[in-house]
Structure 1
Amino acid sequence: MILILVKNELEKVLRRKRTYISFLLIGILIPFVVGAISNGGTTLEKSIYGQLSDSFFFIGSLLNGYLATYIIIAVLINHMPFLSTIIASDIFSGEYSRSTFRMYLTRPISRTKVLASKVIVVLAYTSTLMGFFFLYSLIISISWLGTGELAVFHKGILFLSSDEVIQRFTLAFLISNYVMLTISLLCLLISAISKNSVTPIIITISIVFVGTAITYIPIELFKIINPYLFTGYINSFLRAFHNPIPWSHFGSLFITCTVWSTLFVSLSLFFFNKKDITD
């Protein structure tokens, strides 16, 4: 039964035009950004070298596809919560507004299974979108600028060899995707409560905005609570490029996001079971 429900949810998602908006925006934007990075390469290299150029003589260029991908992800990752919640925002509220729940929830179908199928589809969509974002950025950047060492800022300038860069990007994807899954499940929870598809996105993005502000505002209270908020880990993918890799930080991220995700799914089930589909 659950496989049939997942297939049904997937078909509904694939038929909606909004499903492809995020992929289209990323597909159009990335080449423009890579082109801008390529044209502004000299200025970018000067900002990376900084005062080191006065003391050292550099041969070759640091501007390559890996650096461009790193910059793209670092700049756009804070906008991904909006794109990743497009489907989650409509997964329940869309059904309420179209009254489709009345047709199949009056049959002997468990609401728990219906929720599970929607959760699976939301997680699959978010992971696919994040995978596309990382992989597409990497492919376009490498095709345009080639490969080489990756220079990142960590206790000065850290150079990562081309042999380990792909592993670091894979780790960065896993980290950022896990946080984004939690954000999508938050949006799903709000969608289970709301009958408007726009409201879940607005509330979710507002929560992310407030959480991000808590991360960056240097107040002692915020520093204490920030490790327990999933929003404090949105930019944690940058640590995948540190040396050594801070596995303890990623462990905290995994625990925090898992707890919040479990809470969001549990509350979604509670409100969904309480929902009167005849309204």
Structure 2
Amino acid sequence: MLKIELFKLFKEAKTWYAIAAVLIIEFIIFFAAYYQGRTVLELLLDNLRQSFYFEGNLLNGNLLLYIVLNSLWFNLPLILMIVSSALITEEYKTGTLKTLMLQAVSKKKLIIAKYITSLIFTILMLGILMLTSFLLAYSIFGDGDLVVYLGTLNFFSSEEAFFRIICAFASGTLSMIFFTTVSITLGIFLKEPTKTWIASALFLILCSIILKADFGMMNDLLFPKLTNSWQQFFNYDLDIKKIAFNNLLLFIYTLLFAGFGIYKFSKSDIG
């Protein structure tokens, strides 16, 4: 059943359009950085140069990888959610689910296969993004120390920056899996592609708004706050225990959304 779902996923044109869209956005970022990145960086550091002496190439591959992480973390989940939700909504729309239910197919196994298919697709997309970003970043801009601004200016050596970027991609992948899992669950409830896409976009927007709000002691428990855990790898003092706790809690939220969707689909009448 999983093989069939994967076959259907990669047979759909929208899957390949999604991959192309992510790569196009990535190439635009590198194109803009190549022609205007140094000018923008000079403007940002102009005042600091009066107090600090900067040596070396600050516009390097590590900085570009950090920019890619920040630039795609709204666009990428939206694209992934559209493709993942289509695994269920398109079959509601075309009546394929009704046909499947006429055969000896377990609804629970079917929907689990769709969640796993979404999981595989999400990991594959992040793998493609990571591979192409690293190749382009280091081949075009070279290596160098990383400087980021998170309330304060944080400087990392090239080797440490590479490690933190790898960890950020891994943590970010978990965030993307959470979003795609939510999109399938939304698709189970809404059943129509357009409604699910709008709901997915709204969910992302609400998460972005909540991410910027302060809820005091609840901050460490709200899942919108947890989706940004990858950013904590660029704090100067690395709190591994807190990051691990956040990722574990986000994983639990992902399982809860998936479990809720599996229960709803198993109990609902497809007809």
What's 2:18 paired with? 22
How big is each residue's C-alpha offset from its partner over 1:106-163, in whole Å with a ceiling of 9 and x where there is no partner? 2222222112211110011111112222332222222221111111225633222222
Secondary structure (helix, strand or coil) at the match of 1:158 reads strand
Secondary structure (helix, strand or coil) at the match of 1:190 reads helix
Q: 1:264 to 1:57 in 2, by over 3 A?
A: closer
Structure 2 counterpart of 1:137, one-letter code: S
Q: CA deviation at 1:67?
A: 0.7
Secondary structure (helix, strand or coil) at the match of 1:87 reads helix
Does 1:275 pair with 2:271? no
Q: Is the 8 A contact 2:147 2:153 kept in 1?
A: yes
Does 1:191 pair with 2:184? no
How big is each residue's C-alpha offset from its partner over 1:161-197, in whole Å with a ceiling of 9 and x where there is no partner? 2223332121101111111111111111111122211
How big is each residue's C-alpha offset from its partner over 1:61-95, in whole Å with a ceiling of 9 and x where there is no partner? 21111111211221221222201112221111211
- 1:81-92 to structure 2, matched below 5 A, reads 81-92=77-88
Alignment match of 1:32 (pick from 23, 28, 34): 28
Please, which moves more after superposition, 225-234 or 60-69?
A: 225-234
What's 1:231 paired with? 224
Secondary structure (helix, strand or coil) at the match of 1:259 reads helix
Does 1:126 pair with 2:122? yes
Unaligned 5+ segments in structure 1 are: none
Unaligned 5+ segments in structure 2 are: none
Does 1:65 pair with 2:61? yes
Distance in 2 (CA, whole Å) between partners of 1:153 and 1:102 is 53
Q: Is the 8 A contact 1:172 1:238 kept in 2?
A: yes
Please, which moves more after superposition, 115-124 or 31-40?
A: 31-40
Distance in 2 (CA, whole Å) between partners of 1:77 and 1:159 is 22
- 1:109-148 to structure 2, matched below 5 A, reads 109-148=105-144
What's 1:244 paired with? 237
**RMSD across aligned C-alpha pairs, in angstroms?**
2.0
Does 1:204 pair with 2:197? no
Secondary structure (helix, strand or coil) at the match of 2:155 reads strand
Question: Identity of counterpart residues, as a percentage?
Answer: 24
Distance in 2 (CA, whole Å) between partners of 1:171 and 1:149 is 17
